[in-house]
Amino acid sequence: MKILVPVKRVIDYNVKPRVKADGTGVDLANVKMSMNPFDEIAVEEAIRLKEKGIATEIVVASIGPAKAQETLRTALAMGADRAILVATDDAVEPLAVAKILKAIAEEEQPALVILGKQAIDDDSNQTGQMLAALLGRPQGTFANAVTVEGDKVIVAREIDGGLETVQLALPAIITTDLRLNQPRYASLPNIMKAKSKPLATKAPADYGVDTAPRLRTVTVAEPPMRQAGIKVADIDDLVGKLKELGVA
Ligand code: AMP
């Protein structure tokens, strides 16, 4: 069984994003970039399925600039077998990403595609769902636990207030939630080995996908500064203040 894991290169989650002075977007110059954390969880889950003898090959794919190769090498160092870079300097929106992934899935025929539930740069939370719809395959989103049983996969999904368990017929699409697993760090020998694993470079046009944006960003702004808090003497004072603010 083959597993496809799409991985996105995003601003590292420890970095506080800075908005460009002209409000056209987020400043990416000299900013540390890393694999989207939910995608690390997806790679880890695929590796665990391989270690259990369920998966036989893990293919990772990224749509992005040439530097996304580093993200793919990280996935290869964790334990993926092969990588595909779909190189483009355009900002590719979820629908175009999903169309490219659909074409890759048709070529590779994976039994499972495991994506992150969202990319932490634009927080779209759309690509997995769009891919499932385009391929006409069942989807188990926000996975908290994944169990493959024969030609089915059982996914416990994080929903408001608990877990919902669904059973999907393979081939299927899964998106990962935070508590699915704790991704491993790549060891130094595996980082060295990853340098010689196969990485194919393609272009969106190879898959017949037009990546022209359908959305126009009007402006990007910092969130408003939080107001300082105030201390209250007692409950009466608190209720008085709340009344003043019109919230009680
Ligand atoms: P999003 O819908 O943008 O929040 O992204 C959800 C998931 O889709 C991510 O966690 C990745 O697994 C995948 N994905 C989104 N954009 C890309 C990309 N440019 N390259 C590879 N995978 C992507």
Query: What does pLDDT average to in each consecutive run of 10 residues of the chain (248 residues)?
Result: 98 95 92 98 98 98 98 98 97 97 98 98 96 98 98 97 97 98 97 97 97 93 89 95 87
Angle at alpha carbon of residue 4, lines to 160 and 81, rounded to 5°: 130
Residue range 2-245 in CATH 2.40.30.10: no
Q: How far is the CA of 229 from the centre of ligand 1 (A)?
A: 38
Q: How far is the CA of 197 from the centre of ligand 1 (A)?
A: 23
Ligand 1 pocket member 38 (CB < 6 A): yes
Classify each residue of 110-149 as buried b or exposed e, where b means 16 or more C-beta atoms within 10 Å of its C-beta: bbbbbbbbbbbbeeebbbbbbbbebbebbbbbbbbbbebe
- Domain ranges within the chain, ordered by starting residue: 2-245
Spatial separation of the C-alpha atoms in residues 110 and 1, rounded to whole Å? 7
Residue nearest to atom 10 of ligand 1 (CA): 116
Closest C-alpha to ligand 1, atom 9 = 116
Tokens representing 223 are 């969130």
pLDDT of 8: 98
Q: How far apart are CA 131 and CA 5, in angstroms?
A: 12
159 forms beta bridges with 162
Tell me the C-alpha distance between 37 and 118, whole Å: 9
Tokens of 50: 């391989």
Amino acid at 213: P
Which pLDDT score is estimated for 223?
A: 87
- Which residue among 8, 45, 178 is best mutated to probe the pocket of ligand 1, counting the most ligand atoms within 8 A of its Cβ? 8
Q: Which of 188, 148, 206, 200 is nearest to 172 (CA)?
A: 148
Question: What's the full length of the chain, in residues?
Answer: 248
User: What are the tokens at 160?
Assistant: 């408001």
Beta-sheet strand order (sheet of 57-64): 162-169, 152-159, 139-149, 172-176, 112-116, 2-6, 57-64, 82-87, 199-202
Structure tokens at 140: 């188990």
71 Cβ below 6 A of ligand 1: no
In terms of Cβ atoms closer than 10 Å to its own Cβ (0-12, 13-18, 19+), residue 202 is middle
pLDDT value of position 80: 98
Smallest CA separation from ligand 1 atom 21, residue: 62
Are 60 and 76 spatial neighbours (Cβ–Cβ below 8 Å)? yes
- Check residue 48 and give its pLDDT: 98
